[in-house]
Amino acid sequence: MRLNMETIGRGLMIIGAIVLITGAALYLAGRLNLPLGQLPGDIRIERDNFRLYIPLATGLLISLLLTVLVNLIGRLWK
């Protein structure tokens, strides 16, 4: 299958829409003071000259929400 300009353009618009929606969701999460990044299960280690932050719970929550969203969109698309 050859890619033409129309296919590439459509793909770029979809990627742009996903980035826009993700950015808007993160912006709203910050404005609503949601504790993303500070959930129980997020690992934070701070020493004198060392900081380690691993957002496990936040990553799992975002992954779950995106999975549900993509599945709903996929079911509506068919």
Mean pLDDT across the chain, nearest whole number?
88
% of residues, the chain, pLDDT over 70: 99
Predicted pLDDT of residue 4: 85
Measure the N-to-C terminal CA separation of the chain; round to a whole number of Å.
23
Q: Are residue 6 and residue 18 in the same domain, yes or no?
A: yes
Cα separation values, 24 from 29, 37, 62, Å: 8, 17, 14
Predicted pLDDT of residue 65: 87
- The answer to whether 22 touches 41, Cβ cutoff 8 Å, is no
Question: pLDDT tens digit string along 18-47?
Answer: 899 888 988 888 899 888 778 899 999 999
Kindly tell me if the per-residue pLDDT of 2 is higher than 80: no
Q: Are residue 40 and residue 69 in the same domain, yes or no?
A: yes
Q: Are residue 41 and residue 29 in the same domain, yes or no?
A: no
Of 9, 35, 16, 22, nearest in space to 69 by CA: 22
> Vertex 45, ends 66 and 23: CA angle to 5°?
30
The residue range of the domain holding 40 is 36-78
Q: Are residue 52 and residue 30 in the same domain, yes or no?
A: no
Q: Are residue 77 and residue 43 in the same domain, yes or no?
A: yes
